[in-house]
Structure 1
Amino acid sequence: MPTTRRVAAALLLVATVGLVIAASSSAAQERPRKRQAACSTSVRGSHATASCFNPNPRVDRVQLHVECARWWDPDMDARPVEVGPAQRVDLAERCWKEIRKAWVSHHAER
């Protein structure tokens, strides 16, 4: 009889560990993902462009930001634009001279 108890305890332990692993993996799969438009940014000389596509069911508000390379050249921010579900928008901004970096910020509508 002691062997039967050990086998039952071992099976109970294995089943409990299996349930814990299954619960943690399903919780990881249900983790909320970012609901943002997918944007690609390109810089050519003094011009920056961004193309954004929103595959999500919610509206995303995107804005292109440009940091100019010269200290006297003012940094620029394009006006925020709403990107609806399954829509694409193109944003453009420029500096007088070279661009140091360009990026897109997201502000999801509620």
Structure 2
Amino acid sequence: MTDVKTHNGSCRCGAVAFEVDADLEGLIECNCSHCYRKGLVLKFVTPDAFRLKAGEDAQTEHTFNTHKIVHLFCKTCGVQSFARGVAPDGSSMVAVNVRTLTDVEPWSWTAQRVDGRSF
């Protein structure tokens, strides 16, 4: 059974803030050149489960590889709180960096390791 809650998140400096309705099941930790170096732990949600509260203009973006995911970073502190993109099935998604959820106890979750380096 999943325990969906509304979580608050932000970048380090607070310029980017958001809410997300999500459980902490199905988290992934990817070893691709981007995620691994940044230490991202990701929860994928539908766009309607994500609400940006502040910082639309406080972000810059980066894409690579297939350019299907737009990685968004705070222009001030550099933290990637989330990304927007297209899932393998073609649906829209938001990839939330669980490490930026301000109401989640660090290491209170487990994540599946995914071999993104080999894709």
TM-score normalised over the length of structure 2: 0.23
Higher helix share: 1
TM-score normalised over the length of structure 1: 0.24
| Larger relative contact order (Cα-Cα within 8 Å, sequence gap ≥ 6) | 2
Higher-Rg member (1/2): 1
